[in-house]
Structure 1
Amino acid sequence: MEEINPQPQQNKFGNWLKTSITARMLMVGFLIIILLIPLSFIESLIRERSFRQQDVVNEINEKWGNNVLVYGPILKIPYKTYSEKTTFNETTKTYLKEIQTHVNYAYIFPEKLTTDVNVNSKTLNRGNFESAVFTTDMTLSGFYIPTDLTDKDIKPEDIIWEKASIVMKTSNLKGIKNEVLIKLNNNSYAFQTNYNDENNGRNSRLDILETGFLNQSLINGTENSNFSIKISFNGSKQIELIPIGRTTDMKMKSNWADPSFIGNYLPNDETKEITKNGFKADWKVLHINRAFSQQHLNKIPDLSEFAFGTKFMVMVDEYQKSERSAKYGFLVIALTFLIFFLIQTLSKINIHPFQYLMIGLALTMFYTLLVSISEHSNFLKAYLIAGISVIVLITFYSKSILKTFKFPLFIGLSLTALYTFIYVIIQLENYALLVGSIGLFLILAIVMYVSRKIDWNNG
């Protein structure tokens, strides 16, 4: 029998792959989709390292000191209330009325509260990871006006002046560095922790500090009672104050160059100053600006929603930059393959799918190099080393494929421009979308101009 030779059919299919523009486009698109798999693994690796960094940062902050929130000082005054209890006497068959006395508390906010905050920031390292922490010295001063609770239906004779005290709340009891004293007029009182205070609330995230009993002559008079407190914290993340003064002023000064002002109230624009060496900011909150009064009965209200201050934020850390860079991986691979596709189409030089695959894998290696090197150096140096390594590798590899000097040189320059463009976008915050859109528009225009002479009907 006569044997059928399949060779001509195979040659026909191979020639179609070599000569057909459609076949090359399908092949390049398929390889790009395949390379999305290692890109997704790399993004997962970056997120895993980022989570590991966050765990280390939380551990460092937990030991150094967490965020600082100060609520106080508050004048705590006990007072008597009365209730009538009726019982039935079985022997006399009569009802007996008994007056019972209860002790409740009134909490009085200061008329004026002025806070000066000096913050010294630094970084703590553990292995390849670091956390931004701070030490802050706070001075709180102001005064209370003479207490009058008649509008709360509390008679002066029912107030227990000799058992009045001062309380403060804070979120960072562990971070306090000094013995906390309040100077009330000419008398000093030390604060002690008070975990058993039922008025603190079972679910409160704040710890309470309280002084011993005050000299009643300091608060039961016709003159204002002046106070001052100095307190130092080791902390991290943010510093906040609750504006309990009828007029509350806060001044903050720090060597931190990237503050984020948080809470219900922003600092005054006229006095706010932010430089590369730090910032200064002043706040002023009046009683008319917040929806609570100066006197409260029975318990200290939760006023955390009215807190304001500064968050000491890292604008974009190394892993955030690496993750943002990896999001452009599809764009880098697609544009690089497009350059090789246009060179192959215009010059009639054959490029094998395996060679496309090797170029794509080299492009994905950029991100693993970037992440690993940035853990031991700054992002710019890691980006330069990874970028130069990949560009040189692909340039020399393309020289062996294209057999000329001008095309590899063009590819090297194109990759350099592309990686530079992506680095600029990563560094930008407010203008990243605008610059990226303009850059992509220019790239599209160049591709349209270069490909205008290709005969797309040929294959």
Structure 2
Amino acid sequence: MNKPLGFKLGMIALLMLLLLIPLLMISGLITERQHQRDSVLRDIGQSASFEQQVAGPMIVVPYRKTERSWVEKEGQNVPQTRTVSGLLYVLPETLDAGLKVDTELRARGIYQARLFHAKGTLSGRFKLPAHWGVEGNVEDYRFDTPFLVVGISDVRGIENLPALRLGERTLAFEAGTGLDWLQGGIHAPLPELNLQQGGELDFAVDLALQGTGELHVVPVGRSSTVNVQANWPHPSFIGNYLPNRREVTASGFTAHWQTSFFATNLEDVLRRCTADQGCAGFEGRAFGVSFIDPVDQYLKSDRAIKYAVLFIGLTFAAFFLFEVLKAMSVHPMQYALVGAALAFFYMLLLSLSEHLGFALAYGLSAAACVLLIGFYLSYVLHSAGRGVGFAAGLTLLYALLYGLLSAEDYALLMGSLLCFALLGVFMVLTRRLDWSRVGRA
């Protein structure tokens, strides 16, 4: 070596700082492309249908109540009456929902959105109280025509003509819910059924829904059972309740939920639902599954670039080892060119992954960078064997990086072990080196 050690280390540190500029630009490009992809997915959802949430069925009973009071007028108590209106809600005693879900891809340009088609039946039984369970003088109440409501968050995704089966009868649904706080959905008037005397009423609703992203169900039954079967092998279970049982295979998944009124407390929630304040507590009791790819190519590319400084630092450290152990001189420009090739790997990875998928794009990008750097270093280090050795080391590092990206739960552990192992190798190789003589002419 013919340059002072401090000068060489300073140049290496400066080069690493300069290489942060293209790395930050590539990181910003990843974020920009991800936002563009999300915008396209929203456009596809706008053209098809967004996330779907099914709430119901439940029976809604409009009523008018006469309230009597006494007021003092000219020294006498005079009777006064006024009429108030409201809604009574009857939730099913049992709810059984069985849904079979198939997914498909819709493409727009290079971007793809995953749509789902859910088909199944909502069935169960209502246990109706006499006079709809009102307390006090029944004569003060006037009940209007009750109706059955099924909330569907995006009605554009309804793919069939849903019909309501009540016992032996079949009734048609109409658009809308008739409720100010539950905008999306359908309802079926129940004009000819004498329901005020109470009793039990079996129901069944056949539904076929299309949506994107997520499917939610609100467990409105006193006892609710929901079974979902889908051909998507990467489900993410979301909401307030996890499935009691689930099975995930390479061809799809099955999941089973079971809840009760003790867990959901929906009756009290419904009593507090008003047109002004809405009913976020009711819809917030939902659970379901997400059909979005949990780790897409942009997220993986973003995670990969976080290790870029480590990669460049390890490569520069290997150069420095050659200098001090083999008494060779590597020019800062040669450091810079190799660092640029390592940084360009992430640009190749981003651009190829949009067309080929992340795994294949990673392999091609890593192979291109390894071959280029190996060829270049064969001349820089004056030995084809040294160039091949460096290429083999880079191949191992890229393989370890891919393992870090794939094993999300163990990424910190694997990264810590990798850094510790490389530090150990560096210390072993330099254990006999006299650092006080390094850098002298």
Q: TM-score, normalised by structure 2?
A: 0.91
The letter of the residue matching 1:107 is Y
> Which of 231, 240, 257 is the matching residue for 1:255?
231
Residue 220 in 1 paired to residue 199 in 2? no
Residue 285 in 1 paired to residue 259 in 2? yes
Q: Indicate the SS of the match to 2:233.
A: coil
Percent identity of the aligned residues? 30
Residue 211 in 1 paired to residue 188 in 2? yes
Q: Indicate the SS of the match to 2:267.
A: coil
Quick one: structure 1 residues 230 and 39, their matched pair in 2 at CA, closer, same or farther if it must change by over 3 Å? same
Quick one: structure 1 residues 153 and 223, their matched pair in 2 at CA, closer, same or farther if it must change by over 3 Å? closer
Where does residue 58 of structure 2 map in the other structure? Answer: 74
Query: Residues of 2 paired with 1:62 and 1:165: CA distance?
Result: 30
> Which of 193, 211, 214 is the matching residue for 1:235?
211
The letter of the residue matching 1:62 is Q
8 Å contact kept, 1:190–1:211: yes
Q: TM-score, normalised by structure 1?
A: 0.88
How far did residue 101 of structure 1 move? Answer: 3.3
Q: Indicate the SS of the match to 2:171.
A: strand
Q: Indicate the SS of the match to 1:244.
A: coil
Residue 331 in 1 paired to residue 310 in 2? yes
8 Å contact kept, 1:176–1:233: yes
> Which of 22, 25, 30 is the matching residue for 1:38?
22
Residue 200 in 1 paired to residue 180 in 2? yes
8 Å contact kept, 2:152–2:185: yes
Q: Indicate the SS of the match to 2:107.
A: strand
Query: Residues of 1 paired with 2:22 and 2:270: CA distance?
Result: 61
Matches within 5 A, 1:46-445: 46-84=30-68, 97-148=79-130, 152-158=134-140, 160=142, 163-194=145-176, 197=178, 199-201=179-181, 206-217=183-194, 219-269=195-245, 272-293=246-267, 299=273, 301=279, 302-445=281-424
How far did residue 455 of structure 1 move? Answer: 2.0
How far did residue 151 of structure 1 move? Answer: 5.9
Over alpha carbons, which structure has the higher Rg?
Answer: 1
8 Å contact kept, 2:147–2:188: yes
Quick one: structure 1 residues 338 and 297, their matched pair in 2 at CA, closer, same or farther if it must change by over 3 Å? closer
Deviations 1:391-442 (A, max 9, x none): 1111111122111122212111111111111011111121111112111111
8 Å contact kept, 2:88–2:132: no
The letter of the residue matching 2:186 is L
Task: Choose 428-437 or 223-232, whichever is displaced more.
Answer: 428-437
Q: Indicate the SS of the match to 1:163.
A: coil
Deviations 1:41-95 (A, max 9, x none): 1111111111111111111122221111111111112333113588999xx9999
8 Å contact kept, 1:162–1:213: no
How far did residue 158 of structure 1 move? Answer: 4.9
Where does residue 8 of structure 1 map in the other structure? Answer: none
Query: Residues of 1 paired with 2:96 and 2:142: CA distance?
Result: 28
Structure 1 gap segments, 5+ residues each:
1-16
8 Å contact kept, 1:88–1:94: yes
8 Å contact kept, 1:167–1:209: yes
Quick one: structure 1 residues 358 and 312, their matched pair in 2 at CA, closer, same or farther if it must change by over 3 Å? same
Deviations 1:147-171 (A, max 9, x none): 2358642544455556111122221
Query: Residues of 1 paired with 2:330 and 2:419: CA distance?
Result: 26
Query: Residues of 1 paired with 2:302 and 2:220: CA distance?
Result: 42
How far did residue 138 of structure 1 move? Answer: 2.8
Q: Indicate the SS of the match to 2:161.
A: coil
Query: Residues of 1 paired with 2:271 and 2:326: CA distance?
Result: 86
The letter of the residue matching 2:332 is P
Query: Residues of 1 paired with 2:200 and 2:162: CA distance?
Result: 22
